Amino acid sequence: MIAVLFPGQGAQTPGMLAPWLEIPEVATHLTALSEATDVDVLHHGTASDADTIRDTAIAQPLLVAAGLATARAVLGDTAPGVVAGHSVGELGAAALAGVIDDVTAMRLVTVRSAAMAAAAAASEPTSMAAVLGGVEEEVLARLAELGLTPANMNGGGQIVAAGAKSAIEELVADGPTRARVIELQVAGAFHTSYMAPAVDALAQAAASITPADPATALLSNADGTPVESGAEALTRIVRQVASPVRWDQCQERMLALGVTGIIEVAPGGVLTGLAKRSLKGVPAVALKSPDDLPAARELLEQHA
């Protein structure tokens, strides 16, 4: 069984779309997705520098467009057994599962990204940091001491903390025993209560959509549960903006469902890296460039 995974914010890199535009069908799809949002995805995916595409309002539409265009390119008419996305990647996953169409995913991510950027700008200075290693109970206890939220429980000994920037700086200076703490270059404390205004904005945008039920198993970031209805999928995606990502539980569910192969769509690498530690022995291909398409298609043929 193949799982197709969509990475979240932070996976983007300068020029990431340039090689994909050399494939006519991918270029056509990316052009249509770019036209569905007020963000110039094609420009930012080929010409913008790292600082520019770090902007939440730019990064999120760019990631959803890249994920959807490359997912369609590798899958063709083959349906995956499981689909999941990390954070904003949930919108791409929902479209691939048939809950919404690709254009609707782009319209929703435009609202989501702008609202999250605005919520971050309106709050006190906030930040996020990756905590690598250490004992999970000790890590969580240290975050609680500092009033920080475990915003991403990624599995494999990786927890991303989020909250007030001063508390993040204290965590970096005095982290848990045997853990390495790296402050992330992000514009806010995502997946925490600081994002409550963005939840309201996305809920308003989602209210006008009539979703379909998932055509394949679609895992929720809330707890790794396969979502049974389109309405539930949208509700969970909206709430997840201000709730922790439980990617550890998504990976556990993949194993329970019998996933035997993983394809991470562009810009791939982050989620397959986590899978190497949490889903040991499950072969994975990350779509970093079109050169990875043959290996992904071979994996698809063997495990779909």
pLDDT value of residue 129: 96
Distance of alpha carbon 215 from alpha carbon 235, whole angstroms: 17
Residue 30 amino acid letter? L
Distance of alpha carbon 53 from alpha carbon 63, whole angstroms: 10
Q: In this predicted model, what pLDDT tens digit does every residue of 277-300 receive, in sequence order? A: 999 999 999 999 999 999 999 999
Distance of alpha carbon 89 from alpha carbon 96, whole angstroms: 11
Is domain 124-183 in CATH 3.30.70.250, yes or no? yes
pLDDT value of residue 304: 83
pLDDT mean across residues, the chain: 96
Residues labelled as active-site residues: 87, 191
pLDDT value of residue 205: 97
Q: In this predicted model, what pLDDT tens digit does every residue of 97-116 receive, in sequence order? A: 999 999 999 999 999 999 99
User: What confidence category does residue 270 fall into, taking pLDDT thresholds of 50, 70 and 90?
Assistant: very high
Q: In this predicted model, what pLDDT tens digit does every residue of 153-196 receive, in sequence order? A: 999 999 999 999 999 999 999 999 999 999 997 879 999 999 99
SS3 156: coil
Distance of alpha carbon 17 from alpha carbon 139, whole angstroms: 37
Summarize the confidence of residues 262-266 as an average pLDDT.
98
For 269-293, b where at least 16 C-beta lie within 10 A, e where not — what string?
Answer: ebbbbbbeebbeebbbbbbbbbebb
Phi, psi angles (nearest 5°) of residue 10: 110, -20
pLDDT value of residue 6: 98
DSSP bridge partners of 162? 128, 149
pLDDT value of residue 186: 83
Instruction: Kindly tell me if the per-residue pLDDT of 63 is higher than 90.
Output: yes
pLDDT value of residue 172: 97
pLDDT value of residue 288: 96
Instruction: Kindly tell me if the per-residue pLDDT of 13 is higher than 90.
Output: yes
Is domain 2-121+192-303 in CATH 3.40.366.10, yes or no? yes
pLDDT value of residue 216: 97
Q: At what angle do helices 247-257 and 270-278 cross, to 10 degrees?
A: 60
pLDDT value of residue 185: 79
Could you tell me the residue ranges of all domains in the chain? 2-121+192-303, 124-183
Percent of the chain whose predicted confidence (pLDDT) is above 90:
96
